[in-house]
Structure 1
């Protein structure tokens, strides 16, 4: 310890402090859950994880562990999961989520044999989890870094990859208080990164085992073009009119869009809220001044004549974008985080978002190319939508830019799979 120096002492201290606080939080969760509903759910969904793993995995199983924080990261993992499922049939794939938004939607995915929440990042949980799973390969998606899991993987010499990784200057690794976490990055045998900026940031930390492979989401959404995207209800609603699809919207997004939605003519409007609970749908309907119907009503309503359709179900949006002539993607008008712009872009659709896209390099890149526009207020939103609606050449040109943006950035998955093939067959 004497030879660690001041920085070494600080790193050791912070690592132990982190583990202590996480363990304390873990111990107090049952009590905290009495007062905070979200913490109660957080605790309850993780209670039986080790029992599930014991039931579904045996000592003879060969496993690959893939961890995705939430639904967005899962979408990035899908191209790799599909390849793993096809090439390595003898392996069991264990897929973990941290967030309920990923687990609840994808817990039955056929791309994994075991789907579960990730136990809290205590040293004991990490050791127990990895003892049960015994992965021959671990894959983390984008920027989910859990020090105790990573340190345990490193000690066990489990090959570990970061896929579609992002590194930014505002992450803890680049702050004085978070530099201790840099040691955890030693667990990664290789970093597959989304962009050159991330590579530069990672190299500043002293890591050279990395390359810019791109974002696997481009491969994921590009494949959507080859799928069957037919939706009878949407085709019936759209008819021969232009269609504006407002995807993954929050109240802040509707506040920007309401001026256009309530006054526009000659265009159908579809709204797919991020949350489709009863209260949120009713709140949305109260904002609308034009006749609207719900997606769930389409099959029973033979005289459907509304110009606004509210999608009160999940799982359809990626197909719905195939019918869009222009799209608004929610999340960036407030602080919730921009949703997936690549899904509409792959269909060659002009895209509008709120202004908060600073943490989303794909949105910034597409805005630079003029395939995406950001709006700050109702006036800007209405003016831009009116131009896209009435100016066919502008709409077509912008859409072509979006489509080309996707096709020009595919190819990350083959690079990643080449490395995985070499690792698993070595």
Structure 2
């Protein structure tokens, strides 16, 4: 963006960001999201010392999902360029929380609000050779400052119906996109969106696929030991039976899943795993009350030492274990698509589970692909779920191999993106 526009934008955004932070830390529900937005001088000095003498690159991710999408790319750069140091910046507090839960040892922090001076000081401490933005985080002051250090790349670019519908958002995005050096899009439909709706040039765009597929396969391989540990703990107390998992479940998903489990799962002696998307105490208490009403006995994941044969299922009350828990099941329903939008369908897909989700799945290209190839079932109520469930003939440990083959066929985006960045960036000592 032009310096004059940046100046005018900053005259509004800088004091607004400071005001939001000042008010936010005084409101309990907003405090976690607002704390840590502005690094102190001493914190910046620590970051500067950690980056001193190292060539660095910056990865800007919104939250946990974008962080996971960036990891295959980060690991490839680390493997081929051991002296290149990645620094991860999250916009969302949930991204920071997830990184901590995964034991992330790389440098990471929370992004400031889009404050000209805050970004200037932060990037001065890092001095990135290049910047990778994962999917969404395009902010004027951030991009303006990042461009002064090196090229900026957008990865996993996808079309956005909201941008297409909103004229003002579209105009702003067109200006921001103009400053991106390369846009790595998932597919041809996304390429058309960036060309026709956002006015990108053909030279800017490269169709590479989605790094999600690389990450989900690599994580399954990396976490095999953790999966084996969880399976061993379950098998100590639970007779091995078929298992149905509700992953990233919201209220409607839980109600639908419990209803079908009561009609179908319990009669066939299936086991149940319930992993709410929100693991707040209120949500966990609500799930337990719904289970009690359906005569379903649950044991919390954090109390697996108390798991006994009379328990029908497990209530997951920690984050970071859902991908491994999918490996303990044969049948999965991915939540979110009954009320808003579907969550990650690739985690159960890479495990080869028989898979279903609700009707609001069109925000996920991966879900659309699975439905179009008849590799996943769309259900709108408990009767449809129950009928589909009863139509399946699944033995313990059965896997839907066509689903695994589909995921494997879609991998390779990370290598393509890395090769393109190396061609266009001077990564040298």
TM-score norm. by structure 2 comes to: 0.87
2:14 and 2:164 map into 1 onto residues whose CA distance is 20
Are 1:183 and 2:175 matched, yes or no?
yes
2:215 matched residue in structure 1? 220
**In the alignment, is the contact (CA less than 8 A) between 1:64 and 1:137 conserved in 2?**
yes
Counterpart position of 2:313: 308
Counterpart of 1:338 in structure 2 is: 342
- Alpha carbons 1:137, 1:160 under 8 Å: kept: yes
Residues 1:211 and 2:206 aligned together: yes
Task: Note if 1:119 corresponds to 2:112.
Answer: yes
Are the counterparts in 1 of residues 301 and 317 from structure 2 also a CA contact under 8 Å? yes
State the shift of 1:212 in Å. 1.5
- Is 1:285 the counterpart of 2:288? The answer is yes
Q: Which 5+ residue runs of structure 2 have no aligned equivalent?
A: none
User: Of 376, 381, 394, which residue of structure 2 is paired with 1:377?
Assistant: 381
In structure 2, relative to structure 1, the CA distance for the partners of 1:312 and 1:43 (3 Å cut) is closer
Q: Does 1:168 align with 2:173?
A: no
In 2, Cα distance between equivalents of 1:291 and 1:404: 36
Q: Is the 8 A contact 1:234 1:320 kept in 2?
A: no
- Name the structure 2 match of 1:28: 19
Q: Is the counterpart of residue 365 in structure 1 residue 358 in structure 2?
A: no
Q: Encode CA deviations 1:64-92: one digit per residue, 9 max, x unaligned.
A: 10111000111101111211222222222
CA shift digits 1:196-246 (9 cap, x unpaired): 111111112132121221111101111244332212223446643211111
> 1:420 aligns to what?
421
- Return the alpha-carbon distance in structure 2 between the equivalents of residues 367 and 387 of structure 1: 18
Shift of 1:248: 1.2
Q: Indicate conservation of the 8 Å contact 1:95/1:116, yes or no.
A: yes
CA distance in 2 between partners of 1:109 and 1:170 (Å):
32
- Deviation, 1:344, is 0.6
| Contact persistence 1:235–1:323 (CA under 8 A) | no
Tell me if structure 1 keeps the 8 A contact 2:338–2:358.
Answer: yes
Aligned residue pairs total 410
Q: Deviations over 1:92-127 (max 9, x none)?
A: 221011111110120376665311001111222222
User: Which residue pairs with 1:4 in the alignment?
Assistant: none
Shift of 1:193: 1.2
Whole-angstrom CA distance in 2 between matches of 1:253 and 1:83: 37
- What CA distance in whole angstroms lies between the structure 2 residues aligned with 1:50 and 1:331? 41
Larger mean CA deviation between 21-30 and 142-151 belongs to: 21-30
Taking only aligned residues, the RMSD between alpha carbons, in angstroms, comes to: 2.7
User: 1:256-301, CA deviations, whole angstroms, 9 ceiling, x for partnerless residues?
Assistant: 2121122332211111112223332221111012222222222244
TM-score (norm 1): 0.87
Q: Are 1:273 and 2:301 matched, yes or no?
A: no
Q: CA deviation at 1:173?
A: 9.3
SS of equivalent to 1:144: coil
| Structure 1 partner of 2:74 | 81
Gaps of 5+ in 1: 1-7
Residue in 1 that maps onto 2:95: 102
